[in-house]
Structure 1
Amino acid sequence: MAVAGTGAFGRNHLRVYRELTDQGVTLAAAIEADAARAAEVEEQYGIPVFASVGAALSADLHLDAASVAVPTVHHAAVASELLKAGVDCLVEKPIAGTLPEADALIATAAHNKRILQVGHLERFNPAVVAMEPKLTRPMFFETHRLSVFTPRSLDVDVVLDLMIHDLDVVLAFSKSHVKEVRAVGLPVLSEKVDIANVRVEFESGCVANFTASRVSTERVRKLRFFEPRQYVSIDYARRDVLVIAVDPEFSIEKAMALGAASGFQDGLPGLSFTKPEIVPGEPLRLEIESFLHAVRTRQKPRVTGEQAREALALALEIQRGMAEHAKRAGLGDFFR
C-alpha cells in the first residue's frame, strides 16, 4: 500500500494501514510534495516518501493499491496516474473537483480494470450500516453537520468539505433522483462558502433539508429521517441510532385516554423506543478494510465512482443554487 497526500486525513490512512499489518498489509511508501511533511512521515513510519507519483512508481515497489488524500483539485490527476499504472485507488471525497474529471477517473478505472472506491466515510459508520437494511420508505430527512473552524480543506467550500457526506448518505437512503434544489450559503471566515442550508426534493416526493457549517461553536453530526409511522435519529459522532415507531393500532384518542389514566408516566402509549444493535468499529478502518476486500476479491466496492459522481453532481448543483440566491439577494459584497 501507499498513501498519496500526508496531511491531516492522509495521516489517518497511514495509521490504519500500519495497524493492518497482521492482515497481510504492507505500508510501502507515501507520496508527499511538501518536504517538511515528508520528513516527518519518513521518520515516524520508517518508509520512503516520494515527491511525486512518478517517482514512487519508478521505485518499483510492486504496489497493489493506494489511498489518495491529496487536495481535491489534485484527485483526478494523482488517481489517474496510479490507476494507469495498475494500482487500485481509494480516493478521498469528493471524487474530484468537476464532473468531467470524475467521468475521466471512472473511465480510467474501467479501462484499466482497476478498483476505484471513494471515501464517503459515513457509509461505513456503524450506525448507518445498522440502519440501512431496515429502511422502508424515507420521506423526510434533516441533517446537521457543524464544525469549529480549522484551516483544513479551505480549497473547497463547506458543501464539498462537509455537506457532501450527508448528500451521499441521503442519496443512498432515498434511492431517488433529484427533482429540485434550493440553497443559500455565505462565506464567513474564508473566501468560500462556510455555512449553507439546502432543501432538496426528490422525484419520489421525499424532501431533505441539509445544514452544514465550519464556523460553529460546537461539533454536531446528526441525521434524522421520517418514514411512515417511524422516526429515526442517527448520531454519527456517537455511532448511535434511536428508532421511535408508532403501533399499527395507534389512535390519538386511544393513546390520550390510556395516557391520562396513567398520568402519562410512561409517555404517550402506542410509541416504542428502540436502539438497534450496533457493531462497533472505527469508520475509517471499516472503509479501508472494505476497500482491501474489493482489491483482493475484485468485487465492486461499497462506494463506487458512479455513486460518488452522483453526490458530486448534487453538490455542484447546490453551489449553483447558492450563487443564484446570492445574486437575487444582492449579496455580491459578501463574496470575494
Structure 2
Amino acid sequence: MAGSSPLRVAVVGAGAFGRNHLRVYRELQDAGKDVELVAVVDQNAAVAAEAVAKFGVPAFDSVAACLSAVGKLDAASVCVPTVHHATAAEPLLAAGVDLLVEKPLAADLTDADRILELARTHGRIVQAGHLERFNPAVTAARRHLHRPMFFEAHRLSVFTPRSLDVDVVLDLMIHDLDIVLSLVASPVREVRAVGLPVLSNKVDIANVRLEFENGCVANFTASRVSTERVRKLRFFQPHQYLSLDFARQDLLMIDVAAAAGMDPAQLAALAAMAQSAGQHPSAGLSLSKVAVEQGEPLRLEIESFLTAVRERSVPVVSGEDGRAALALALEINRAIADHAERTGL
C-alpha cells in the first residue's frame, strides 16, 4: 500500500493502554522498521502534553484535527475508553485509515457492527486488540492442539481504578473467551454464569461455565479484586494435558499413555504434583516443558497488525473475531443478571 515509504501511524487515546502503543510504535521506528509515529490524539491536555514530551509527536484534541493537520495517515491504534471506540473509529475509517481497536471491540453489538460496516464500506482493515492471542505460550500451545475437550481459565488481578467503564467480563475474562473460541472452533450451546460487584458498581468477580456444540466444556474465573495476579489456562484433550501461564510465558505438557482412563481432575492433580517435584508423576505419564520463544505480546500484536496493513491481508484477530468475543461476553453478562435476579442478589 505504501510502497517503500514507512507506514504513518497515530495513537488515539494516550491513557494506560495508549502509552504502551505509543512506546511500541516508537521502538519499532527507532529499530528501523518501516513505520513512523506521527501523532497522538487525546482530549485531556495534560495527558497529551505528557505524550508529546515523551514521544516527540504532535498532539491533537480530536481525530478531525489530527486528520486535518498530519495529512496522509495509514494506520492508527484506538485506545480510548470502550464506549468511545465507534465514535473514534468512524472518521478514521472514512479517511482510509486501518485500525487496531483495543479490546473489547465496542461497548455493544450495535457499535461493533457499525465499526465493521464502516470498514467494509471503506475497504479498511480492523484488527481487534486481543493481545493474548499473540502470547508466545499461546502460539506454542496451538502447535499441540488436537480436539481439546475441557478448558479451565483463571485471570485474577488486584483492584485498580483503570477500566472501570466496563465489568470484569469485558475487562479481563474476554481475553480468555477469545482464545478459547479460537481454539475450540465450535458454537456455544449453553452459558451458565454468576458474578458480583465488590469494589465498583459493575461486576468485579465472575465464574462462567460454557458448553460447546462439539461437547467441549470450558470454565472461566475472572476477578479484579484478588490479592494476587494470576493468568493461567489449562486444557485437556485425548491423552494430553497442557498448562499455560500467560505471565511467565510457560507451557507444561503431560502426555498420557497408560493412564488414558483418568478424569481431568485426576490428571490436573498429577500435573501439579509433577510440576512441583520436577519429575514424572507415574508410569504412563510423560511430563515436559514445551520450548516457548519469549516476546512482548503487544509488540507481536502491533507487528502483526502492521503486516496486515502492508499486505492487505486478514488480521490474525479480525474485527469479526472481536465481535464474536464481545457477543459471548454480553451473553455471559445477561446470564449473570438473570442469576442475580433469580437469587435476589
Q: Establish whether TM, by shorter chain, passes 0.5.
A: yes
Deviations 1:109-135 (A, max 9, x none): 111111100110110000001111321
Deviation for aligned residue 1:276: 2.0
Query: Which residue of 2 is the match for residue 73 of structure 1?
Result: 83
Q: Does 1:172 align with 2:182?
A: yes
- Distance in 1, Cα, partners of 2:260 & 2:111: 52
Task: Report the AA paired with residue 145 of structure 2.
Answer: L
Q: CA deviation at 1:60?
A: 3.3
How far apart are 1:178 and its partner, in Å?
Answer: 0.5
Quick check: 2:243–2:253 contact (8 Å CA) kept in 1? yes
Q: 2:26 aligns with which of 8, 12, 18?
A: 18
Of all paired residues, the percent bearing the same amino acid is: 66
Matched, 1:306 2:320: yes
Q: Which of 43, 63, 72 is matched with 2:73 structurally?
A: 63
In structure 1, what residue type is equivalent to 2:288? T
Given the superposition, is the C-alpha separation of residues 32 and 206 from structure 1 closer, same or farther in structure 2, using an over 3 Å criterion? same
1:194 maps onto 2:208 in alignment: no
Query: CA separation in 2, counterparts of 1:23 and 1:228?
Result: 43
Structure 2 stretches lacking a partner, 5+ long:
1-8, 263-278
- Checking the alignment, whether the CA contact within 8 Å between 2:258 and 2:285 is kept in structure 1 is no
Q: 1:249-260 counterparts in 2 under 5 A?
A: none
Structure 1 residue aligned with 2:282:
268
Aligned equivalent of 1:212: 222
Whether the 8 Å contact between 1:186 and 1:193 is mirrored in structure 2 is: yes
| CA spacing shift, 1:63–1:251, aligned 2, 3 Å | closer
* 8 Å Cα contact 2:258/2:283 also seen in 1: no
Distance 1:249 1:47, change over 3 A: closer
Letter of the aligned partner of 1:330 in structure 2? G
**Cα RMSD after superposing both structures:** 1.3
**How far apart are the structure 1 equivalents of 2:180 and 2:334?**
20
Q: How far off its partner does 1:250 sit?
A: 6.5
Using the size of structure 1 for normalisation, the TM-score is 0.93
Q: Give the counterpart of 2:15 among 7, 29, 35.
A: 7
Q: 1:9 to 1:224 in 2, by over 3 A?
A: same
Write the letter of the residue equivalent to 2:337: A
Indicate the larger mover: 130-139 or 183-192: 130-139
The reply to whether residue 134 of structure 1 matches residue 148 of structure 2 is: no
Instruction: Tell me how many residue pairs correspond in the alignment.
Output: 319
Q: Distance in 1 between matches of 2:92 and 2:281?
A: 58
CA drift at 1:214: 0.2
What is the CA–CA distance in structure 1 between the aligned matches of 2:261 and 2:149, rounded to whole Å?
21
1:45-104: per-residue Cα shift (whole Å, max 9, x none)? 111110000000111331110000000000111112111110000000000011111111
> Separation in 1 of the partners of 2:313 and 2:238?
35
Instruction: Tell me, in whole angstroms, the C-alpha distance in 2 between the residues paired with 1:69 and 1:102.
Output: 15
For the structure 1 residues 47 and 114, does the alpha-carbon distance in structure 2 shift closer, same or farther, using more than 3 Å as the test?
same
Asked if 1:185 is matched to 2:195, the reply is yes
C-alpha separation in 1, matches of 2:204 and 2:142: 30
After superposing the two structures, state which structure 1 stretch, 78-87 or 241-250, moved more: 241-250
Change in Cα spacing, 1:78 to 1:168, as seen in structure 2 (3 Å) is same
Q: Give the distance between the partners of 1:30 and 1:302, measured in 2 at CA.
A: 25
- For 1:82, which of 79, 92, 105 is the aligned residue? 92
Task: Give the corresponding residue for 1:261.
Answer: none
Deviations 1:189-228 (Å, cap 9, x if unpaired)?
0010000000011101101000000000000000001101
2:13/2:40 contact within 8 Å kept? yes
The amino acid across from 1:240 in the alignment is D
Partner of 1:155: 165
Q: What SS is found at the alignment partner of 1:287?
A: helix
Which residue number corresponds to residue 108 of structure 2? Answer: 98
Q: Distance in 2 between matches of 1:137 and 1:95?
A: 28
Alignment-derived partner of residue 304 in structure 2: 290
* Residues 1:145 and 2:155 aligned together: yes
1: CA distance between counterparts of 2:102 and 2:320? 14
Distance across 2 between alignment mates of 1:4 and 1:188:
31
- 3-state SS in 1 of match to 2:305: helix
Unpaired stretches in structure 1, ≥5 consecutive residues? 253-264, 332-336
Work out whether residues 28 and 61 of structure 1, in 8 Å CA contact, stay in contact via their aligned partners in 2.
no
Structure 2 residue identity aligned to 1:12: N
CA distance in 1, matches of 2:115, 2:166: 19
How far, CA to CA, are the matches of 1:205 and 1:140 in structure 2?
9
Partner of 2:265: none
Q: Is the 8 A contact 2:259 2:285 kept in 1?
A: no
Q: Distance in 2 between matches of 1:60 and 1:119?
A: 25
Q: Tell me what 2:271 maps to.
A: none
